[in-house]
């Protein structure tokens, strides 16, 4: 019987910088799980914008060990060691401090608290690549929709409805019998044009009822102002993106007060890994039933190909519509 491997290929950075120079592939020992932890063989791991920004120094909280830091938040794989009832099971995970204050998923192995395995059962309807592509996007969307508190039959406007988070928002709203309203700079049947005033369009689409929430995945000041003005009384604006670091939103505070409106920010970084996988667990049945679906466009890159991996990171930075996923073809 062959000996178990002792080493793994990982992607790492030792200090912040441009992805082309900061990232490199190297070989490190496979991590030894701490007590009450399990070892996961990573079959696929997604590259999120937060991963690329992390490498380039956007997060002051990122720490480095003697070997640097392995980035990556999302993954799917199989349990190699841990409680015997979980060994061999397919799992998925996302979030927490993976890639920031502890090593992340852009490697061949990762460790997790064995208590979290309860929530990490991967939907049988998804491949490893598809499951890895869902993590941060669907968790962010789930948090946004939860904060919006929309009821069945109520309308929700989604800014950036064609993006990863926006598409997930649309699916989750539909799964709850809500009515998502998509947006586009070109408009179209049943779609709100972002180049025109939102109010009249929304009034027509909703039959005068208005929207109870705006899910803003874009982060543009001009769109924020328009969407705030289009909200029904007691409506919510939920924000999860900002295209320009440090830019300011402006709004009419008196109008906000008189209409009893509220503004919320959603940041997934402070959400622990345990909380994150519990959010994924709530979405599992939706994927199993086909109500929720993974990103339609996914590009796979072999983790062992450093040049291709860096190119995939660059695609994320450039705003690629296709989800970039690293795969371990050795497994």
Residue 114 DSSP label = G
**pLDDT at residue 251, rounded to an integer:** 85
Average pLDDT of the residues in 279-308 = 97
Q: What is the pLDDT of residue 1?
A: 39
- List CB contacts of 21: < 8 A, sequence separation 6 or more: none
What's the whole-model pTM score?
Answer: 0.94
**What is the predicted pLDDT for the residue at 99?**
97
**Mean of the per-residue pLDDT values for the chain?**
93
Rounded to 5 degrees, φ, ψ at 235 are: -80, 170
Render pLDDT for 129-162 as a digit per residue (tens, 0 to 9): 999 999 999 999 999 999 999 999 999 999 999 9
Mean per-residue pLDDT for 35-63? 96
d(C-alpha 162, C-alpha 321), whole Å: 9
Tens of pLDDT, residues 82-96: 999 999 999 999 999
pLDDT of the residue at 35: 95
List, in order, residues 6 or more apart from 320 with CB less than 8 Å away. Answer: 299
Q: In what order do the strands lie in the sheet with 179-181?
A: 179-181, 155-159, 211-216, 231-239, 262-265
Sign, Cα dihedral of 225, 231, 234, 237: negative
Tell me the pLDDT tens digit for each residue of 204-259: 999 988 899 999 998 888 888 888 888 999 999 999 975 556 667 888 889 889 99
Which pair of tokens denotes residue 312?
């995939």
CA quadruple 162, 166, 110, 117: dihedral positive or negative?
Answer: negative
Task: Give the integer Cα–Cα distance in Å for 248 and 286.
Answer: 37
> What's the pLDDT band for 3 if we cut at 50, 70, 90?
low
pLDDT score recorded for residue 146: 95
Identify the pLDDT of residue 302. Answer: 98
- By C-alpha distance, which of 151, 144, 141 is closest to 209? 151
Q: Cα-flanking dihedrals φ and ψ of residue 79, to 5°?
A: -75, 125
**262 pLDDT more than 90:** yes
Q: What is the pLDDT of residue 246?
A: 63
- Alpha-carbon Rg for the chain, nearest whole angstrom, is 21
Q: What is the mean pLDDT of residues 106-118?
A: 98
Give the pair of three-digit tokens for residue 318. Answer: 């450039």
Section 283-309 average pLDDT: 97
Report the share of the chain in percent with pLDDT over 70: 97
**Tally of helices (H runs) and strands (E runs) in the chain:** 10, 15
Secondary structure element (H or E) that encloses residue 44, with its range: strand 37-47
Relative orientation angle of helices 221-230 and 198-206, to the nearest 10 degrees: 40
Mean pLDDT of 167-185: 95
């Amino acid at each position: 019987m062959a000996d178990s491997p002792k080493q793994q290929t990982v992607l790492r950075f030792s200090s912040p910088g441009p992805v082309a120079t900061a990232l490199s592939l190297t070989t490190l020992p496979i991590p030894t799980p701490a007590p009450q932890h399990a070892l996961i063989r990573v079959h696929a791991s997604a590259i999120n914008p937060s991963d690329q920004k992390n490498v380039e120094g956007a997060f002051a909280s990122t720490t480095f060990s003697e070997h640097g830091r392995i980035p990556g938040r999302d993954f799917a794989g199989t349990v190699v060691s841990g409680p015997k009832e979980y060994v061999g099971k397919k799992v998925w995970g996302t979030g927490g401090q993976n890639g920031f204050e502890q090593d992340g998923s852009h490697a061949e192995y990762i460790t997790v608290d064995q208590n979290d395995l309860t929530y990490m059962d991967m939907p049988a309807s998804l491949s490893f690549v598809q499951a890895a592509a869902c993590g941060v996007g669907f968790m962010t969307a789930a948090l946004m929709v939860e904060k919006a508190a929309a009821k069945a039959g109520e309308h929700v406007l989604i800014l950036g409805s064609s993006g990863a988070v926006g598409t997930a928002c649309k699916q989750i709203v539909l799964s709850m019998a809500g009515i998502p309203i998509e947006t586009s700079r070109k408009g179209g049947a049943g779609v709100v044009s972002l180049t025109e005033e939102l109010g009249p369009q929304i009034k027509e689409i909703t039959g005068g009822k208005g929207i109870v929430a705006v899910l803003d995945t874009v982060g543009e000041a001009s769109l924020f102002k328009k969407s705030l003005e289009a909200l029904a009384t007691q409506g919510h604006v939920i924000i999860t993106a900002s295209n320009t670091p440090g830019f300011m939103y402006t709004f009419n505070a008196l109008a906000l007060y008189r209409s009893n409106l509220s503004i919320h920010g959603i940041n997934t970084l402070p959400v622990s890994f345990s909380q994150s996988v519990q959010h994924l667990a709530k979405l599992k049945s939706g994927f199993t039933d086909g109500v929720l679906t993974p990103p339609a466009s996914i590009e796979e890159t072999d983790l062992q190909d450093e040049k291709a991996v860096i190119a995939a990171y660059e695609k994320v930075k450039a705003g690629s519509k296709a989800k970039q996923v690293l795969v371990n073809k050795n497994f």
